[in-house]
Amino acid sequence: MLRDYPIFKHLLYWLIAFSLLTFIYGTAFDSFNLGTKVILILLPVHMCYFYLITYFILPRFFFRGRYIQAFFAVLATMIFIATLYRVTEVFISDPYIYKFYKAQDANFTWSKMNHSLWEQLNNRFDFVNAIERSNSVIWICVTLRMFIMWQERKQAALQAELNFLKAQLHPHFLFNALNNLYALSLDNAPQTPEIILGISNILRYVLYECSADKVLLKRDLEVLNDYIRLEKLRYEERLELNVNIRNNAGDQEISPLLMLPLVENAFKHGAAETVDAPWINIEIYASSVDLIVKISNSKPEQAVAYQKRSNAHIGMTNVEKRLKLLYPEMHTFKWYDEEDCFITELKVQLIKP
């Protein structure tokens, strides 16, 4: 929300700073009325300091790796702001404070007001105090600002990596679909038109609907069912296929394309490469709390199974990376490469603890 309206973020930011400074000064003056007015006088100096640091020095020097220049720029800015702070105190806030206490007590005296303006500006003790007061809150704010920027950059990098991983799946799925169509066309299979239509519907989902960060879990399962149905048409009675999908997820959402690559992997490396009696078991339980997937499939003989080892599990590796980014500490993902079968187990916690 605040990211969409940065002016509100800045207003909130300065409201917090104003409240903190008012508390400090109001306690020191034993008058929050006086503290509020003094901070209103000095706040523009604090704001000038903050924006010089965060919008000029940091992006121009620090973020470009020019650390020595950044150090001297901060040092020069610190001296400039302390001087501006003292000028504001001597000419505006100190006279106002003096008049405030004088109005309450006619006998009130303040020794610094007996000196000339030049002597007040040259007071080294007051100048050191000005450095301390002008830096007390600003560096908390700068640190907070740098933390927010670091989080935003981290999020941007995370999103870029997720987009890259998701984009990898699109050509991967398309490549496998074209391979399947090619095999069917060689045999002049009668079910080819129906399978082409089904694949086009799945591709539409993969390319367009999956561009969102989250999709309805029931929609993801619908597409998964469509894919299984198409593969069943392709293999007909040659494949022993057992599917058990229970969906009690309601309107729960999930990151797309977590299950489809796993099922696709079972058909590609199980049924397609197994010559004698291929089989696949798919068990999926979905609720509003978690998703549990267990897939097992037959394997071809050792020599055939490993001839494409370099790209055998692209989809699996991709899913594993995305799970680590999307559901950290909220998932378990294991696969077992046994002698006669391949087993995949996935559990995703859909609600944060």
Do 117 and 189 share a domain, yes or no? no
* pTM score of the predicted model: 0.55
Last residue of a domain, one of 136, 171, 190: 136
Q: Is 68 a domain residue?
A: yes
DSSP β-bridge partners for residue 285: 246, 292
pLDDT confidence bin for 98, thresholds 50/70/90? confident
CATH number at residue 162: 3.30.565.10
Do 195 and 50 share a domain, yes or no? no
Do 244 and 327 share a domain, yes or no? yes
Confidence at residue 152, expressed as pLDDT on a 0 to 100 scale: 64
Among 99-103, 160-164, 215-219, the range of highest mean pLDDT: 215-219
Do 195 and 325 share a domain, yes or no? yes
For the stretch 6-28, pLDDT in tens is 788 788 888 888 888 888 888 88
Confidence at residue 139, expressed as pLDDT on a 0 to 100 scale: 77
Do 188 and 122 share a domain, yes or no? no
Last residue of a domain, one of 102, 136, 170: 136
Do 81 and 197 share a domain, yes or no? no
Do 95 and 239 share a domain, yes or no? no
Do 292 and 329 share a domain, yes or no? yes
Do 345 and 242 share a domain, yes or no? yes
3-state helix, strand, coil in the chain (%, to 5): 65, 15, 20
| Count of other CB atoms within 10 angstroms of residue 39 | 21
Q: Is 312 a domain residue?
A: yes
Q: Is 147 a domain residue?
A: no
Which residue did the predictor score with more confidence, 304 or 254? 254
- Quote the CA–CA distance of 285 and 91 in Å, as a whole number: 73
Ordered DSSP codes for 156-222: HHHHHHHHHHHHHHHHHHHHHHHHHHHHHHHTT-TTHHHHHHHHHHHHHHHHTGGGSS-EEHHHHHH
- Quote the CA–CA distance of 81 and 75 in Å, as a whole number: 10
Amino acid identity, position 164: F
Half-sphere exposure of 131 (CA within 13 A, CB side): 12
pLDDT confidence bin for 305, thresholds 50/70/90? very low
For the stretch 223-272, pLDDT in tens is 898 888 888 877 777 888 999 999 998 899 998 888 888 888 888 777 76
Do 124 and 249 share a domain, yes or no? no
Confidence at residue 27, expressed as pLDDT on a 0 to 100 scale: 86
pLDDT confidence bin for 295, thresholds 50/70/90? very high
- Reading the block at residue 311, the tokens are 């790209």
Do 101 and 220 share a domain, yes or no? no
Question: What domain range includes position 188?
Answer: 158-349
Q: How many domains does the chain have?
A: 2
Confidence at residue 166, expressed as pLDDT on a 0 to 100 scale: 55
- Reading the block at residue 250, the tokens are 């309601």
Do 170 and 62 share a domain, yes or no? no
Confidence at residue 19, expressed as pLDDT on a 0 to 100 scale: 86
Q: Is 149 a domain residue?
A: no
- Mean pLDDT score, 313-330: 80
Q: Is 150 a domain residue?
A: no
Confidence at residue 274, expressed as pLDDT on a 0 to 100 scale: 60
